[in-house]
Structure 1
Amino acid sequence: MIQTVIFDMDGVIVDTEPVHRYAYFQQFSELGIDVTEEMFTSFTGTSTRNTFQRVKDIFQLEHDVEAMIERKRTIFNDAFDNKKDLELLPGVEDLIKDFHQKGMQLILASSASKVTIERVFNRFKLHDYFTHKVSGEDFPKSKPHPAIFEFAATLSIAPKENCIIIEDSTNGIKAAKAAGIFCVAYNSFHSKDQDLSEADLVINHFNEINFEVVAQYKS
């Protein structure tokens, strides 16, 4: 029986991707580099630190990675605070509350920074529902490396065989499967460029699952 649900955040709980995209491309412009759509898509699910490390290597930049992270964070925070229409994705709040009310443990495992996670959780009052929040900035390797999910599973009240992961990106799904954990892929409008084929289950809306359905899954 599934006892723990591990959620990704961007593209699953809230769509901050347009804000991240704006911040990244604003900074790419400042750096004077041309990042293609294909290249940018390949960064999906990767931590900010590892994204800028890859950008630095590809374009042979002399800029300090930490300085680039801070600049991008500043641009993002300014845009985030001014985006009045930022909402949780359809159905996810009801699903989170359903899981929580019926005793399912919820853990967040996101490539986002701790600062961004806290901003989202504060804005939408999500703290009470999750026992742990894990940030990709604490791991040297980003998704598709399974480290973040392997660690999240150690925080579970049950073995990883009794966990599932909800993801929306190619890299996130690969990480979940590499960690040996059942993966539900959320096929949203924002996932259209992502390969969800390795997921154990693909859903198009969060109303397709609930506590009773998820509890019966088997890793």
Structure 2
Amino acid sequence: MQTVIFDMDGVIVDTEPVHRYAYFRHFEELGISVTDAEYAAFTGRSTRNVYQHLKDRHDLPQPTQELVLAKREFFNRAFDEKPDLDLLDGVRHLIDDLHQQGLELILASSASHSTISRVMRRFELGPYFSHLLSGEDFARSKPDPAIFEQAAALARSPKNECVVIEDSANGVTAAKAAGIYCIGYRSEHSEGQDLHHADLVVAHFRELTAARIAAIKAD
């Protein structure tokens, strides 16, 4: 393996509590009710895709982009004000190790460009990644494989030398549908996600090193 394609939320940083706060503040403002089960099904989907679904379900009159921007305002304020937001345990060491060993890193996240930029800037991760892909640029969210197919097309190595690291069932499904080897990260922040269809599942990033990833042989 020569290229590692990272998801972001739940893999690099846990922004899920910030997203949940922003979504539910906005749902309250819109006067709609979203159950915990329905919200859990949004995992791995882009904000635009979520609001397209909610517009249909609740017959919301606002344009999708207006809904997306309103939720983003809630998120941005909470993100900037949350002092304890940090990278997930062990992921910076893994990123450093991969970078030092010459593996290419690509980000393929359902998050918006705005959120990706905020994370890259806050944690100074931009120089590690050759490409930053946002779900905003794709008509369909994970489990659709489009974002991973594009990541593999941009990679300097062929698809069979790429590996995806994902924490959501939708993300793993997307990676496998794209024909890419997938490591499922069983994050404590992504409980209830079915990762059984990943090629390898780990519970902590200390289980992964550049040498172990580079040695993986895809079928």
**Which category describes the TM-score, using the shorter chain as reference length?**
over 0.9
Structure 2: 5+ residue runs without aligned partners?
A: none
Query: Partner of 1:175 in structure 2?
Result: 174
Structure 1 position 193, deviation (Å) = 1.6
Deviations 1:26-51 (A, max 9, x none): 00111111101111111100000000
How far apart are residue 60 of structure 1 and its match?
Answer: 1.3
Tell me by how many angstroms 1:218 deviates: 2.1
Task: State how far apart, in whole Å, the 2-side matches of 1:167 and 1:201 are.
Answer: 11
Is residue 144 of structure 1 aligned with residue 143 of structure 2?
A: yes
For residue 118 of structure 1, what is the aligned residue in structure 2? 117
Q: Which residue in 2 is equivalent to 1:30?
A: 29
Residue equivalent to 2:52: 53
Q: Which amino acid aligns with 2:58?
A: F
Q: Match of 2:189, SS?
A: helix
CA distance in 1, matches of 2:162, 2:217: 8
* 3-state SS, counterpart of residue 33 of structure 2: coil
**Which residue identity is paired with 1:5?**
V
Q: Which amino acid aligns with 1:54?
A: H
Find the aligned partners of 2:174 and 2:217 in 1 and give their Cα distance. Answer: 18
Give 1:188 shift.
Answer: 1.2
Amino acid at match of 1:173: V
Tell me the C-alpha RMSD between the 2 structures.
0.6
SS at match of 2:56: helix
Deviations along 1:121-159, one digit per CA (max 9) or x if unpaired, are 000000111001000000000000000000000111111
Aligned length: 218
Aligned residue type for 1:166: I
Give the corresponding residue for 2:183: 184
Query: d(CA) in 2 for partners of 1:175 and 1:57?
Result: 24
1:205 is the counterpart of 2:208: no
CA distance in 2, matches of 1:196, 1:59: 31
Identity of aligned residues (%): 59
2:64 and 2:192 mapped to 1: Cα distance? Answer: 27
Gaps of 5+ in 1: none
Partner amino acid for 2:45?
T
Local SS of the residue matching 2:116: helix
- One-letter identity of the residue aligned with 1:174: T
Deviation readout 1:45-92 (Å, 9 max, x if unpaired)? 000000000011111111111111010000000000000000000000
Aligned pairs for 1:72-151 within 5 A? 72-151=71-150
C-alpha distance in 2 between matches for 1:110 and 1:146: 12
Distance, in Å, in 2 between the alignment partners of 1:190 and 1:212 is: 26
Question: How far is 1:192 from its partner?
Answer: 1.1
Partner of 1:214: 213
Secondary structure at the aligned position of 2:105 is classed as: strand
Q: Which amino acid aligns with 1:202?
A: V
With normalisation by structure 2, the TM-score equals 0.99
Distance 2:114 2:98 in 1: 25
SS of 1:194's partner is coil
Task: Supply the distance in 2 between the matched residues of 1:202 and 1:171 (Cα, whole angstroms).
Answer: 15
| Alignment-mate amino acid for residue 78 of structure 1 | R
d(CA) in 1 for partners of 2:43, 2:187: 14
